[in-house]
């Protein structure tokens, strides 16, 4: 039953947005600060709680797992689109900083993956 997964996702999203808005007000900003991230962390944490799993029938588990798996790629895609639009509106400095961060990440990836491979083989 996918509907229970949607209900859990909706609950986490609403609470995350409210907490993000409150955090923004507390910081003196007129923006939501981390609401989606808070919601994502709540969804991950709540979907692994035993009391949630015990109160829902076995038919609800696939719905919760589906939305738990789909939420992260959707949020990353939305954030990436917003970052690109902001970088293009921000001028060359913002665009170069973004490209520099991506390039640095690509260059560090083999180094990090190599260390991981050595740890697994030991």
Q: Considering the domain boundaries, does residue 100 fall inside one?
A: yes
Pair 64, 96 in one domain: no
Reported as a pLDDT band with limits 50, 70 and 90, residue 19 is very high
Pair 69, 111 in one domain: no
Q: For the chain, what is the domain count?
A: 2
Pair 24, 64 in one domain: yes
The angle, 0 to 180 degrees and rounded to 10, between the axes of the packed helices 92-121 and 61-90 is 140
What is the per-residue pLDDT across 36-90, written as a single tens digit (0 to 9) for each? 788 888 887 887 777 666 666 666 667 667 766 776 677 666 666 666 666 667 6
Full domain range(s) for residue 12:
2-77
- Other C-beta atoms closer than 10 Å to the C-beta of 3 total 10
> Average of pLDDT values for 12-20?
88
Statement: residue 108 has pLDDT above 70: yes
Confidence (pLDDT) at 8: 78
Pair 13, 48 in one domain: yes
Write down the pTM of the prediction.
0.53
- Other C-beta atoms closer than 10 Å to the C-beta of 59 total 11
Q: Considering the domain boundaries, does residue 82 fall inside one?
A: no
């Amino acid at each position: 039953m996918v509907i229970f997964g949607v209900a859990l996702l909706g609950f986490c999203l609403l609470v995350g947005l409210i907490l993000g808005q409150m955090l923004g007000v507390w910081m003196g900003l007129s923006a939501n600060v981390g609401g989606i991230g808070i919601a994502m962390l709540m969804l991950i944490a709540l979907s692994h709680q035993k009391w949630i799993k015990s109160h829902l029938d076995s038919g609800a588990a696939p719905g919760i797992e589906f939305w738990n798996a789909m939420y992260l790629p959707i949020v990353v895609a939305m954030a990436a689109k917003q970052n690109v639009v902001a970088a293009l509106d921000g001028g060359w400095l913002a665009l170069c900083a973004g490209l520099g961060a991506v390039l640095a990440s690509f260059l560090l990836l083999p180094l990090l993956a190599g260390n991981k491979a050595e740890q697994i083989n030991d």
